[in-house]
Amino acid sequence: MIVAPHEQSIDSRDRTLCIDVTANVPFEVNEDADWVKVIKNENGKVYLYIYTNYYNESRSTTVTFTNAEKKLSHELKLTQGADESVNYIPTDTQIKPVSASDNNHQGGHDISKTYDGDIYSIYHSDFYKNYISKENPAVLTYEFKDVEQIDYINYCPRINGGSNGNFGEVEVYVKTAGDEDFKLYNKYDWKKSSSIRTINFENGLKNPTAIQFKVYSGHSDKGEEQQFASCAEMQFCVKTSAEDDYSIFTNDLYYELKKGITEADIEKLDDPFAKSLGYQLLKGDYETKYRVAEYPCFLSYYTLSNMLKAPGKLYDQIEGVTGINIPAHSKTAVIVRGIPDNVPVQLKVVAWYTGRIGGNFDGGNPNTTTYTLRNGVNVIDYQYDYDGLAYISYYADENPEKYENIKVHFVNGEINGYLSPEKSNEEMHAICKNAKNRCMDLYGKKVHQIWEAKGLHSYCRAVDGKLGYRQFMNTIDSLIAWEHRSLGLEKYNRVPKNHTMAYVNYTYYMFQGSFGVSFHMDQQSRVLNCKNIIEKDNDAIWGLSHEWGHQHQMHPHFCWSGMSEVTNNMQSYYNIMKMGFRESDKINGWPTARKHFLQDEGYSTGTKTSNSRRLAYNARHKYSHSKDLFNLFEAMKDSVIKPIAEDKTKGVSYAEVGVNEILCPLIMLHNYFTENGKPDFMPDWYEALRQSDSPEGSKIEKQSGIDKYEILARCQNGNLNNGLKELREKYPNSCWVTEEYITENKCDQNDNAVPFIMNFVRKVSRLSGYNLFPYFEQWGYLRQVAVEIGDYGTKYYAMTQKMYDEFKADMDELVKNGEIQEMPEGLVEKISNSPDWFQLRPIIAN
């Protein structure tokens, strides 16, 4: 007996196979699957009828040919591919312009880059002179020929190299067959967001001949006076209906059949996709958990960043955790309902693991593939080389609560699952064991995390050694809750609904990445173990809080030159205290700081020089716009740090010591006043700083209207709200005006930390009730020196004697008018030597 072939692979469709069997003995044919039917003719011909595979996984079976008497046996291994009906769903058609023109572009970045199909090449307006404005918009015009209809346009912002040029205010004009002139279609304000924006033409734009965009504002890292326009792709699309055979379903998400639908009804359908889905639902084994869900709208992470005064520091950008894995090189049908007009919704597929593991920024970074979703059936063609987890990105620039949840169905979606506090530890343990993706989402009350499923399964244990998924999520959530409390967000009703984020990486120990806080995969045994992070590893708590502290840093009001790796540690310190730790190598640095600034140890000989002052001298011409400032920088030539006893104004400054020493006086200030009648001292100072840019200034530490130093901080912060005009009108005799320390062309926040320091000192003085000028002078924040600071770029601190004298007089005036009082003898030392703010260890639920 000879059977040929021994193996055969076919696609998902039904078919009949004729198997060639040469035999001189009788034989039996047996199969072990209900999707194969054997037909054996009298002449020995064998036919295998293969039923359609309606499932999203391939399947295999073995057909056996035997003669028991002769003990003969042959096998045919038969493999049928997974359901491919998604390939038969018509997709929207993209229309390419026949030509296009612009009125303003940077060389190599003209309008042709917006319809070349390359999301990484971009149009960009002139970098250097022809900035866009109300009077000078960027104009992008697209021409079409023989086009019957355009249903919608996707404006795709740049996805790399920052957000410069993201469209703000836009007008869209259209011209159709027979029109001589353009007609205004609509006006939009896209808030300079990085989200894809969709323009829907109700009932379609018929016979378009041209579409024009006038861009009046765009994001700029140079400020409002120098705005840009940029675009990665402008997609002009025609919708294709794929829903003719869908009347068998009870709703428009297609996850339930109408009562009475039979297999015969389904067989009559012409649409392969509807037929496949209908058959699975009829069989009763189609899993809707995770595949069918609703997703709420969240506030835009850009809007939230601006509200928290932490520009560019983004909360979770992928809030809509689905629990669906998208396999590499696959297509998935995603049905969506309820997307509101003018609110973009995307599906983001993130491959957290991309094939490379390193340890010094030489490994793989997450890869994100973004798809714009629309109401109806969307075909997601994912062609990346590694599986990705799916996320719904549904954000509004304002008032997200006014938008209804959207409903989503991932048809045949591969279920990975996700962990969340309402699940039991045992359930989550099983989810990790059965994960399809290498990674797993944890969606807590405040933090969205991604760790390896294997790492979670192996290491996530509670303090008592039992399964600890719930305790772990509660612990991480507590860190953010405490940060919110320390930042004043809790007290002032600013706690966001949005989550922060932590994720595993394959490239470096720990850092603040594009998504959030990130730990290397080899740190999972340390970070995922609750007993370790709650009772032993203060450095892990410090590190997580440090990176989230970056996310909350207020630039520039509490993150001026030299403070990027300092003020975020206010949250690190707060959190290790709240976790009950009483030891840390970080707090061991306080004695050294006190020796340097209270006793002048190491600087009392007058022989130490400062490279930071020498660098400032070299940069003196940068400040030639102000003679007084130039002279200060010129005076740094000898770079000598003076002993405090000889000249306190030229002693060691905060910017010339390590980060823990810079941090020390801020921690001591918190500890002293928090324990001496001002329990909300730190939350209040953060809120006061957040309100600095309000029209009337902060109302937390004062009720007297905007303060001179709030205006000054605005001036140094890119002349925000035209602060220079207000400063000149209200304080024409101020040295800041007469000496032209700040001008419209010299107002970068990195050029001088002094205005922000003065604003901070004013606020905490009012909050404490004391003139804290002597305290900050003692700790090197008010030195009459110029220093250059390497702090993620080149930055400066520069205080002239006139600045110092004017600020001191203004602080003394607060004492004279009774707002605050002078610090009594010994209070500087008392605050400086405050004990650490030790707290009892919390009990965290599991």
Q: Are 644 and 602 in contact (CB under 8 A)?
A: no
Structure tokens at 8: 């055969």
pLDDT digits (tens, 9 = 90+) for 403-431: 999 999 999 999 999 999 999 999 999 99
Give the containing element (helix H, strand E) for 153: strand 149-156
3-state SS, residue 234: strand
Beta bridge partners of 467: 461
Checking if the pLDDT of 65 tops 90, the result is no
Structure tokens at 558: 């509490």
Q: Are 488 and 687 in contact (CB under 8 A)?
A: yes
Ranges of each domain in the chain: 2-83, 93-238, 246-283, 292-552, 587-832
Q: Distance (Å, rounded) from C-alpha 151 to C-alpha 202?
A: 7
Give the containing element (helix H, strand E) for 711: helix 708-716
Per-residue pLDDT, 241: 67
Q: What is the DSSP annotation of 183-228?
A: EEEEEEE-TT-SS-EEEEEEEEEESEEEEEEEE--B--TT-TTSB-
DSSP 567: T
The crossing angle, in degrees rounded to 10, of helices 681-690 and 469-486 is 70
3-state SS, residue 391: strand
Structure tokens at 591: 């004695």
Instruction: With cut-offs at 50, 70 and 90, classify the pLDDT of residue 160.
Output: confident
pLDDT digits (tens, 9 = 90+) for 553-609: 999 999 999 999 999 999 999 999 999 999 888 889 999 999 999 999 999 999 999
Q: Distance (Å, rounded) from C-alpha 400 to C-alpha 117?
A: 32
Checking if the pLDDT of 844 tops 90, the result is yes
Checking if the pLDDT of 31 tops 90, the result is no
pLDDT digits (tens, 9 = 90+) for 339-348: 998 888 999 9
Checking if the pLDDT of 243 tops 70, the result is no
Share of the chain above pLDDT 70, in %: 100
Residue 811 neighbours by CB distance under 10 Å: 21
Instruction: With cut-offs at 50, 70 and 90, classify the pLDDT of residue 22.
Output: confident
Checking if the pLDDT of 684 tops 90, the result is yes
Q: Are 411 and 254 in contact (CB under 8 A)?
A: yes
Q: Distance (Å, rounded) from C-alpha 536 to C-alpha 580?
A: 10
Structure tokens at 777: 């002078």
pLDDT digits (tens, 9 = 90+) for 630-673: 999 999 999 999 999 999 999 999 999 999 999 999 999 999 99
Checking if the pLDDT of 244 tops 70, the result is no
Q: What is the CA radius of gyration of the chain?
A: 33
Q: Distance (Å, rounded) from C-alpha 715 to C-alpha 728?
A: 11
Checking if the pLDDT of 133 tops 90, the result is yes
Q: What pTM was estimated for this model as a whole? A: 0.89
**Is omega for the bond preceding 5 within 30 degrees of 0, making it cis?**
yes
Read off the pLDDT of each residue in 284-301 and give the average, rounded to a whole number. 96
Q: What CATH superfamily is the domain 93-238?
A: Galactose-binding domain-like (2.60.120.260)
Q: What CATH superfamily is the domain 292-552?
A: Peptidase M60, enhancin-like domain 2 (3.40.390.80)
Checking if the pLDDT of 43 tops 80, the result is no
Read off the pLDDT of each residue in 266-290 and give the average, rounded to a whole number. 93
Read off the pLDDT of each residue in 606-621 and give the average, rounded to a whole number. 97
Checking if the pLDDT of 151 tops 90, the result is yes
The rounded mean pLDDT for the chain is: 95
Half-sphere exposure of residue 825: CA atoms within 13 angstroms, side-chain side: 0
Q: Are 742 and 736 in contact (CB under 8 A)?
A: yes
Instruction: With cut-offs at 50, 70 and 90, classify the pLDDT of residue 791.
Output: very high
Checking if the pLDDT of 242 tops 60, the result is no
| Number of DSSP helices (H) and strands (E) in the chain, helices first | 22, 37
- Bridging pattern class, strands 149-156 and 197-206: antiparallel
Q: What angle do CA 516, 517, 519 make, to 5 degrees?
A: 135
Read off the pLDDT of each residue in 491-512 and give the average, rounded to a whole number. 96
The crossing angle, in degrees rounded to 10, of helices 708-716 and 754-768 is 150
Report which of 114, 101, 95 is spatially closest to residue 152, judged by C-alpha positions. Answer: 95
Q: For the chain, first and last CA: distance in Å?
A: 65
Q: Distance (Å, rounded) from C-alpha 793 to C-alpha 771?
A: 33
Q: What is the DSSP annotation of 248-279?
A: GBSSTT--SBPTT--HHHHHT---HHHHHHHH
Q: Distance (Å, rounded) from C-alpha 506 to C-alpha 794?
A: 30
Checking if the pLDDT of 327 tops 80, the result is yes
Q: Are 98 and 143 in contact (CB under 8 A)?
A: yes
Q: What kind of fold does domain 2-83 have according to CATH?
A: Immunoglobulin-like (2.60.40)
Checking if the pLDDT of 759 tops 70, the result is yes
**Least confident piece of the model among 49-53, 112-116, 293-297:** 49-53
